[in-house]
Chain A
């Protein structure tokens, strides 16, 4: 395989395909990752956007994209992608479109769509081996509507629908769904987790993904200042802390074979990540909920104990 992988942020593509002036919140972690994803994918990509925060990027009469963009309902973005892919294929077959002019098709959704509402149509697209990209911007709740709990909400997070009170002093009592493993069970050619704090790893994953035909899926952990109740200036640092504490594992799966691309040399305690965020503030104030913090640490430790060093390849 002839791939040019980059080594430092100085090698990031200079081309900007996502323009400033978008209505997303200041310090949006999802936008930062999307900016890098579009550097990798380039202008010749059609974006199919399921309803969510990112549909606000293109509000009539403005768009930040260099790409064509289609807005779909929450459940059906992969179906929209199938339609566009088929249309392109038919045009090429009928010689009405030069194969050099072919476009990539990319689905862009939030975690509400990826983990819950659009899971069925994604499963269908994976089953049909649709040649497309899928980027899930996971801020761990329905951020667009006021931060209600989703399938991606982690244990102990406060959300609009899992408030901290008499019923649950811990916030959300359910653990985060493992979407990576759900998608991996379909055996797609390329599947990876990415982070806005690791743009080099992100770009290299897209470079690798490009060599495969079929579904290429990415889950990005997107720090969300409004929902997580954090300072917008801390978004990049929180994304990095999620990786350094082991809460967000950066990995890829090629036809189901999992490799970790970043393993912290020394893991920071999860507390370092939790205590910075308003959505976990109840774990520390007014009384410290030691048992809950320990349980989160145990969940992280349990995950990494199962990871062997041989599973690691630097991206």
Chain B
């Protein structure tokens, strides 16, 4: 392992490395948690940060956590960075830094992205709002940094995919050098992309985000975390322990409209009431109003835009969603 400098074996058999780095003190660890929606790139963002830290000589660990969900659903990813080998495993419940790729997650009690954040921790929110506005709107007590990386992604990549961009943001806040980030993005992007142009664009966008954020001091915490309490789950008969849903059709409460980056908007002057959009909506969000014109349930429309693509008279427009 060429990155190790002066390894010395201590009495307790743990390998430690003499401090050649400017940022983390001895026995310190930075714990970062990423919150995004499936497909946005939270997993790759955590990987870009982990790889960048690794290339800079730190020990790093990164991994995602998916629930029983798909694209668009809330997911989390984690990165641990330390000068010492990282023995801690499992999800990070008390992060020093949280990177939120989707603002609407702040209002989702199932995602709860700021839960457990350490005092003096940093919250990055992908939003067009200023830090003060975002802090006030979402009632976040910690230090807040904001940047509209969705817009940067759309402008620079042509896609609302935020993996390398959020990686750039996180690397800057964590105090990683530009060169390490550059190498990490090249490595991670070429592992999943074959299009050279797109890799270059990702690198440019990532560095743009890196420089758009001011560097600031992050508090790290002890490398050895507190022991988590073990929850004892008693045995229960199947009738009690297996979940039963005693209602019908309640998924509209989930409000999957939060997933949208673009929304369909109908132009009734051009609409011929052909009902193609109604027949093509996978989620059954589109219905006809009293005048026979189609309308959608914006609370649940996921923004797949099949209706925009399929409309034979192009009466449906694709409009960038701004969640307010």
**A62 and B71: CB pair below 8 A?**
no
Tell me if A41 counts as interface (CB < 8 A to partner B).
no
Bound-complex Cα distance A225 to B70 (A): 11
**Contact (Cβ within 8 A) B245 A27:** no
Cβ of A32 under 8 Å from chain B = yes
Quick check: which of A11-19, A90-98, A262-270 contacts chain B, the rest being far away? A11-19
Give bound CA distance, A69 to B245, whole Å: 9
Q: A21-B256, A285-B194 are in contact. Are A32 and B251 (CB under 8 A)?
A: no
Q: When A20-B284, A26-B71, A225-B71 are in contact, do A233 and B251 touch as well, CB less than 8 Å?
A: no
User: Does A121 have its Cβ within 8 Å of any Cβ on chain B?
Assistant: no
Given contacts A24-B70, A25-B72, contact A235 B245 (CB under 8 A): no
Closest to A24 in B: B70
A59 touches B68 (CB 8 A): yes
Chain B residues within an 8 Å CB radius of A27: 282, 302, 304-306
Cross-chain contact A21 with B71 (CB below 8 angstroms): no
- Contact (A236, B251) CB under 8 Å given A25-B70, A26-B303, A58-B245: no
Given A225-B71, A226-B70, A281-B194, 5 further pairs, Cβ under 8 A: A18-B284, A20-B301, A26-B72, A32-B282, A226-B71
Give bound CA distance, A28 to B281, whole Å. Answer: 10
A125, chain B: closest CB distance, angstroms = 25
Cβ of B282: which chain A residues have Cβ within 8 Å of it?
A: 24, 26-29, 31-32, 35, 196, 235
B195: chain A residues at CB < 8 Å are 285
On whether the beta carbons of A61 and B243 are closer than 8 Å, the reply is yes
* 8 Å CB contact of A233 from B256, B284, B308: B308
- Tell me the smallest distance from the CB of A267 to a CB of chain B, in Å: 22
Chain A interface size band reads: 35 or more
A65 with B69: CB separation less than 8 A: no
A213 to B259, CA, bound (A): 42
Partner of A63, one of B72, B251, B284, B305: B251
Q: Is B283 an interface residue (CB 8 A)?
A: yes
* 30 A/B residue pairs, CB under 8 Å, sorted by A: A9-B275, A9-B278, A16-B284, A18-B284, A19-B252, A19-B284, A20-B283, A20-B301, A21-B252, A21-B255, A23-B256, A25-B39, A26-B282, A26-B303, A27-B304, A32-B281, A53-B70, A56-B68, A59-B68, A62-B245, A63-B245, A63-B250, A66-B249, A226-B71, A232-B304, A232-B305, A233-B309, A236-B310, A237-B309, A285-B194
Closest A residue by C-beta to B276: A9
A101 to B305, CA, bound (A): 40
A26 touching B252 in the complex, CB below 8 Å, given contacts A56-B69, A61-B243: no
- Chain A residues whose C-beta falls within 8 Å of the C-beta of B70 in the assembled complex: 23-25, 28, 53, 56, 226
Check B280 for interface membership: any CB of A closer than 8 A: yes
State in angstroms the CA–CA spacing of A199 and B73 once bound together: 28
Q: Is B247 an interface residue (CB 8 A)?
A: yes
Residue in A25, A236, A282 whose CB lies within 8 Å of B309: A236
Residues of A within 8 A of B279 (CB): 9, 12, 199
Residue of A nearest to B297 (CB): A20
Whole-angstrom distance between the Cβ of B102 and the nearest chain A Cβ: 14
In angstroms, Cα B70 to Cα A9, docked, is 29
Q: How far is the CA of A25 from the CA of B75 in the complex (A)?
A: 13
Give the residues in chain B near A16, CB-CB below 8 Å.
Answer: 284, 287
- Given the interface pairs A235-B304, A236-B310, the reply to whether A20 lies near B256 with Cβ below 8 Å is yes
Minimal beta-carbon separation of B57 from chain A (angstroms): 31
Helix, strand, loop or mixed for chain B's interface?
loop
- Which of B194, B276, B278, B304 has the most chain A CB atoms closer than 10 A to its own CB? B304
* A9 CB → nearest B CB, Å: 4
Scan B283-310; emit 1 where CB is below 8 A from any A CB, else 0.
1110100000000010011111110111
Q: Are B302 and A26 in contact (CB under 8 A)?
A: yes
**How far apart are A202's CB and chain B's nearest CB, in angstroms?**
10
A282: B residues at CB distance < 8 A: 194
A253-265 toward B: CB 8 Å interface, digit per residue (1/0)? 0000000000000
B254 within 8 A of A: yes
| Of listed B247, B287, B306, residue having the most chain A CB within 10 A | B306
From A26, A56, A63, A236, give the contact of B280 (CB < 8 A): A236
Asked whether any CB of chain A lies closer than 8 Å to the CB of B10, the reply is no
A207 nearest CB across to chain B (Å): 17
Set of chain A residues within 8 Å of B303, measured between Cβ atoms: 26
For the complex of A and B, list the 10 residue pairs with the smallest distance between their C-beta atoms, beginning with the closest. Answer: A21-B251, A27-B304, A60-B243, A20-B300, A26-B302, A25-B71, A26-B304, A32-B282, A233-B305, A232-B304
B324 on the A face (CB < 8 A): no
B248 at the interface (CB under 8 A from A): yes
A314 CB–B CB distance under 8 Å = no
A281 cross-chain contacts in B, Cβ below 8 A: 194
Q: Does A129 contact B (CB under 8 A)?
A: no
CB distance from A168 to the nearest CB of B (A): 16
Q: How far is the CA of A12 from the CA of B69 in the complex (A)?
A: 30
Look across to chain B and name the residue whose beta carbon is closest to the beta carbon of A53.
B70
Bound-state CA distance A24–B72 (Å) is: 8
| Alpha-carbon distance between A32 and B280 when the two chains are bound, in angstroms | 7
- B275, B301, B309: the one contacting A234 at CB < 8 Å is B309
For A57, the closest partner residue in chain B by CB is B251
B253 on the A face (CB < 8 A)? yes
Asked if residues A21 and B254 are in contact (CB atoms below 8 Å), the reply is yes
| Residues on A with beta carbons closer than 8 Å to the beta carbon of B247 | 61, 63
**Alpha-carbon gap, A199 to B279, bound state (A):** 7
Q: How far is the CA of A28 from the CA of B38 in the complex (A)?
A: 14
Residues on B with beta carbons closer than 8 Å to the beta carbon of A236: 280, 306, 309-310
Q: Given contacts A20-B297, A235-B306, is CB(A62)–CB(B253) below 8 Å? A: yes
